[in-house]
Amino acid sequence: MEKTRKKRVKYTPEFVDSVAQKLRDLPPVESAKKSAQLSKQDAIRKLSKDIRAMQKRGYTMEMIAGVLKSENITVSVATLRNYLQSSRGAAVATPRRERRGTVPAE
């Protein structure tokens, strides 16, 4: 049996340039991350810097919860505190206490 070789396909520079232009003209694909819905906790985590800034400007947690409710993010003050505390804990890890009776490594 005789092997047949496939013909190598060749492209003109103009053709390749036209394909390149079409590729550049394609709109960006919206990633799943951008289109994904956020949970209430994720929304508060994303807003946490702004919420803390409001606290520094004198807003109480009750007032902040009211503002969020007016924007259709209904959250109780206790839950808001909890979410803010957990978002702060994720950003800043606290050092663990050493166990009693262990010798610190030198």
Average pLDDT, integer, range 38-53: 94
What are the tens digits of pLDDT across the range 7-20?
Answer: 888 999 999 999 99
pTM above 0.75, yes or no: no
Q: Where are the domains of the chain?
A: 39-90
The per-residue pLDDT for range 51-63, each reduced to its tens digit, is 999 999 999 999 9
- Residue 100 binned pLDDT confidence (cut-offs 50, 70, 90): low
Residue 89 in tokens:
């804990």
Question: CA dihedral defined by 32, 83, 80, 67, rounded to 10 degrees?
Answer: -30
The CA-to-CA distance between both ends of the chain, in Å, stands at: 75
- Asked whether the predicted pLDDT for residue 96 surpasses 80, the reply is no
